[in-house]
Amino acid sequence: MSDLDPGERTSLMNVVFAVEKVVRSLFAPDKMNLASLGNMTPHLHWHVIPRWHDDRHFPGPIWGSPQRDTRPPRPVVSVDTMRGALRKQLDPDEHQG
């Protein structure tokens, strides 16, 4: 991230936080995790991960050992709904009125 100039950093993080906001509102998780790892190939990407108290790895990171073997029901959200909510979040003016 520190290879980017401040303006580029802010733009990227605004998208990350918009995704976080949309995922929170549509999936109502107990917690959000954010992570920029990407070790294999030099590049930048962000994980925006909803977490639930009863998910397989909670409270550990999703990359650790599973804590339980359950698959509780989660909100089902269509790609269209997700796309619309994200568009609205990223460009609220265009969707007002």
Residue 51: φ, ψ to 5°:
-125, 145
Cβ atoms of 89 and 18 within 8 Å: the answer is yes
Position 95 contacts its own copies (CB under 8 A)? no
* Least Å from the CB of residue 7 to its own copies: 12
- Sites for its own copies among residues 37-76 (CB under 8 A): 37-40, 42, 51, 58-61, 63-64
CA atoms within 13 A on the CB side of 47: 13
Position 36 contacts its own copies (CB under 8 A)? yes
Cβ atoms of 3 and 14 within 8 Å: the answer is no
Position 2 contacts its own copies (CB under 8 A)? yes
3-state secondary structure of 5: coil
Cβ atoms of 19 and 86 within 8 Å: the answer is yes
DSSP state of 2: T
* Least Å from the CB of residue 38 to its own copies: 8
Among 8, 11, 28, 35, binds its own copies (CB under 8 A): 35
Position 7 contacts its own copies (CB under 8 A)? no
Binding site for its own copies (CB under 8 A): 1-2, 9-10, 13, 16-17, 20-21, 24, 31-40, 42, 51, 58-61, 63-64
